[in-house]
Chain A
Amino acid sequence: MAFISAFDVIGPNMIGPSSSHTAGACSIALLARKMMPEPIESVSFTLYGSFAKTGRGHGTDRALLGGIMGFETDDRRIPDSYAIADRDGLSYSFSFDTAEEDIYPNTVDIRMKGEKGFSMTVRGESLGGGKVRISRINGAEVDFSGEYSTLIVVQKDKPGVLAHITRCLSDRGINIAFMKLFREAKGETAYSIVESDDRLPEDIALEIRENKYVKDVMLVQA
């Protein structure tokens, strides 16, 4: 969001008590859920810093679990998320790491396992006022907020992949708001993050996958 909206002031509409520890936690988990290609069977959360210290008193755990089940920040089911997860057969666990200090204060690692065995770990940070960012995928550093529709491409660090991605987007007339590239090391796994003002067509993932160096494509609609 390039400007401060009236609804950044009067809002978000949210389940209390804290925009960072409750609403932000819910948003991070909801983003993580959207990144999973299949339904989630089990999830484990590791909370750090202030999340670990005061998370329970802020319902951070319940908000995280709610987000994983697809609840938005204003969903009244958040306080009952443990019971709902139990009923739906979602297995979950929490650990609270208060020892780690070299980390942003409101950080969570979310390890998800899908029904068909796909697994992924996502790190999210709650930045205050309900704003969040995803800072790691499977240990690799990335950076996106989920405020825009986001395309995440996991690829081999080879020439031409980026050109392929931008061609697919421009063929569909999609305007790129931001584009960032992250890589583990030269020639290794890289991540392209594209944020767009428009909703991304669902089948664009298939098209992007056609490049032999593309390993995986995730779409997170705003």
Chain B
Amino acid sequence: MDFKNGAELLELCEKTGSSISKVMIDREQELSEKPLEEIMDRMRKALCIMREAAETPIKEPKKSIGGLIGGEARSIWTRHSEGKSMLGPVVSRAMAYACAVLEVNASMGLIVAAPTAGSSGVVPGVLLSLQDEYGLSEEQLTDSLFNASAIGCLAMRNATVAGAVGGCQAEVGVASAMAASAAVELMGGKPSQCLDAAAITLMDMLGLVCDPIGGLVECPCQQRNASGASLALTAAEMVLSGVKSFIPFDEMLQAMYQVGRKLPSELRETALGGCAATPTGACFGCAMNK
């Protein structure tokens, strides 16, 4: 029961009366020829690694290898726990967790690429924050990771998730679309709403370039993971309120891919444009690569 695009995924969901996560779990079982329990255990393990990476830097901040980040997760968490957050607990926690995972990643800690290492904070940020707020079970969260992976799978199949090919919109953009879709399912939305939230997120992030300072996965990656998490929640909130995406998910994915291919190479992970080429960014890059 494979699907080639979002429309086919929705058809499968309708035909079987299943959620996106259920369809994705069945697909994984069928195509990998592995027992259900092994597949679920593997995803549970991924969730455990995600949680550890999202929580550790809040207690023990650590400087990154390049020295550009470290401590941001704790700062955001502190403001949230003092009740000062403007955005409320769900968004501020999602941001703190997303920043935390990037801190772990940038200091050679253990993370789960989702879909890439540079965008690994968004999905755990959104899901763990929703779990905190709504007391969701481990099973629900594990299932929702399959929902997220269905979106990522389509992006890998029909577009790209590589910053070097499609810019940051393909990395953090897709990660955020994955998180938005998973969030909608967790909050009781329908499969079509999941894809709408993913489409709106891609729309919001369209054109975002990949311009890592000094070529490192630190800044602006960490900030964009936090913003991506908040955008995913924004899109999910819109859709759950009844807002629809004017453009279908499959078309948005193609638009993202087309825009990505039109980006000059300076804006695709080469550290030659954007933030990396600002006087401050370039100055850091030169000093580091000497």
What residues of chain A have their CB less than 8 Å away from a CB belonging to chain B? 3-19, 22-23, 50, 53-54, 57-59, 62, 74, 76, 78-79, 128-130
Least CB separation from B45: chain A residue: A13
Bound form: Cα–Cα A22–B216 in Å: 12
Q: Which residues of B contact A (CB under 8 A)?
A: 2, 24-25, 28, 31-32, 39, 42-43, 45-46, 49, 64-66, 104-118, 120, 123, 145-146, 148-150, 152-153, 156-157, 161-162, 164, 178, 214-218, 271, 288-289
Are A17 and B216 interface neighbours, CB within 8 A? yes
Chain A residue, CB-CB nearest to B289 = A53
B43 touches A128 (CB 8 A): no
A11 touches B65 (CB 8 A): no
> Are A57's CB and B215's CB within 8 A?
yes
On chain A, the residues within 8 Å of B111 by CB distance are 13-16
Q: Which residues of B contact A3 (CB under 8 A)?
A: 2, 31-32
What are the 8 tightest A-B residue pairs by CB atom distance, in nearest-first order? A16-B105, A9-B152, A54-B215, A6-B149, A9-B149, A17-B217, A79-B108, A3-B31
| Minimum distance in angstroms from A165 CB to a CB of chain B | 27
Asked whether, in the complex, the Cβ of B112 is within 8 Å of the Cβ of A11, the reply is yes
Known: A16-B107, A17-B117, A128-B162. A5 touches B112 (CB 8 A): no
CA of A74 to CA of B49 in the docked complex: distance in angstroms?
A: 10
B42 x A7 contact (CB < 8 A): yes
* B178 (CB) vs chain A CBs: closest residue: A9
Question: Which residues of chain B come closer than 8 Å to A6, judged between CB atoms?
Answer: 24-25, 28, 39, 43, 145-146, 149-150, 153
Provide the residues of chain A in CB contact with B104, threshold 8 Å. Answer: 16
Q: How far is the CA of A59 from the CA of B111 in the complex (A)?
A: 15
Name the A residues within 8 Å of B46 (CB-CB).
7, 10-11, 13
Q: Are B214 and A14 in contact (CB under 8 A)?
A: no
A62 touching B28, Cβ below 8 Å: no
5 residue pairs from A and B, CB less than 8 Å apart: A6-B150, A9-B149, A9-B153, A10-B152, A16-B110
CB distance from B216 to the nearest CB of A (A): 5
Which residues of B have CB within 8 Å of A130? Answer: 113
> What's the Cα separation between A195 and B105 when bound, in Å?
33
If A22-B108, A130-B113 touch, whether A57 touches B152 (CB-CB below 8 Å) is no
Instruction: Check B164 against A128 for contact (C-beta < 8 Å).
Output: yes
The complex places the Cα of A70 from the Cα of B117 at a distance, in Å, of 22
**Given A6-B24, A13-B46, A53-B289 in contact, is the A78-B116 Cβ separation under 8 Å?**
no
A54 in contact with B289 given A6-B149, A13-B112 (CB within 8 Å): yes
The residue that A17 contacts in the complex, of B25, B65, B161, with Cβ under 8 A, is B65
> Inside 8 A of B218's CB, which chain A residues have their CB?
17
Given contacts A3-B31, A9-B153, A9-B156, are A16 and B43 in contact (CB under 8 A)? no
* B118 interface neighbour in A8, A18, A62, A74, Cβ under 8 Å: A18
Q: A18: which B residues are within 8 A, CB to CB?
A: 117-118, 217
**Most-contacted residue by chain B among A3, A50, A59, A79 (CB, 10 A):** A3
When distances are taken between beta carbons in the complex, the residues of chain A under 8 Å from B214 are 54, 57
What's the minimum C-beta distance from B186 to chain A, rounded to whole angstroms? 15
Closest-by-CB residue of B relative to A21 is B217
A54 in contact with B216 (CB, 8 Å): yes
Contact between B288 and A57 (Cβ–Cβ < 8 Å)? yes
